[in-house]
Chain A
Amino acid sequence: MGDVIVTKNLVKNYTLGKESIVRALRGIGFTVQEGEFVAIMGPSGSGKSTLMHILGCLDVPTSGQYKIDGNDTSKMTDNQLANLRNRQIGFVFQSFNLLPRTTAIENVELPLVYHGSRNARKLAMTALERVGLGDRMLHRPNELSIGQQQRVAIARALVNDPSLILADEPTGNLDTRSSEEVLALIQSLNREGRTIVLVTHEPDISHHAKRMIRLLDGQIVVDHAVANPLDARTILSSLPPEEKQ
């Protein structure tokens, strides 16, 4: 099993004004292997967003090394990083970030459009079917429930077959049932062998992962396996049946 993420002594400093420096990351080093499901926890200000941005190649560290799939990101140009984001990373955001007025299938196709794939439509259909929205392909985001919207976003993250799925508070805007549905989907993707890094501040959510990394003040304070990960399918079956309107 290969290493998907290797970080060594990551440091990120922000300069605010003239003299004050915010040390967001103070030497982070960890490795994520293929097929892992890691939750990154931490209170606000702990540096988890910064770490997330660096892992997502949206930002570069001040010092230290970050390799994704063996590619060292420190020497890459903007365009190379964009291609890396396009091919190696699938993003899932708290607020979905779907394009309005654009059908589900077109949203899912978008990474493929920038990738220049030939059979984009077919791959997008497969991805939407994978998240259980095969019958909603031509719906626009405003015609979908918020749970469904997040599943479209997951399909978009999947469609380029990335090495890593990076989910930033994916359930932050969802109710309990939708959250568990999304987590069940993420868990099943993980069972298929996909590597997942999930950033959250909710312990309930992080307990769905197999490994937990806790940050505090820009440093890793806890990094351990989750003893008995919660299974979203079990939780779903224990919830009261959905109220039909």
Chain B
Amino acid sequence: MSEFEPKIVAFVCNWCTYAGADLAGTSRTKYASNVRIVRFPCTGRIDFMLLMKAFENGADGVIVSGCHPNDCHYTSGNFHARRRWIVFRSLLDFIGFDTDRITFSWVSAAEGNKWASLVNEVTDKMKAKGPFTDLDKLDCSKLKQLHDETITE
């Protein structure tokens, strides 16, 4: 059996982390190919429900990364993201979601190596954890029934 290859979705800002990932490329730093980047203008733009959508549709791990505090291209977007993450994390904790599957990080445009090691770290961690199946275990039949009823009405 081949080794489990986790799917990792990275939500990154355009100005720091996306540029950092580009720098990893220009410096030819090799890292795991499990990651797929979604480019946002700013981490402040990231709607955290998208993270849930990613998990719902087969992601095994998620990275959120933007500019370091005080370095935001838009002054304060990363602070908003950080606050939102703190609140969101406690909500996820409360409902029993495995918050270890989400990694929140800062990677600047100068940190190509940090980006590479971040991706490797998260990939290894998700390999160790195995596929994400928590949502599959949920019994959503009642919810689905409710949903279908609302639609037909």
A binds B: no
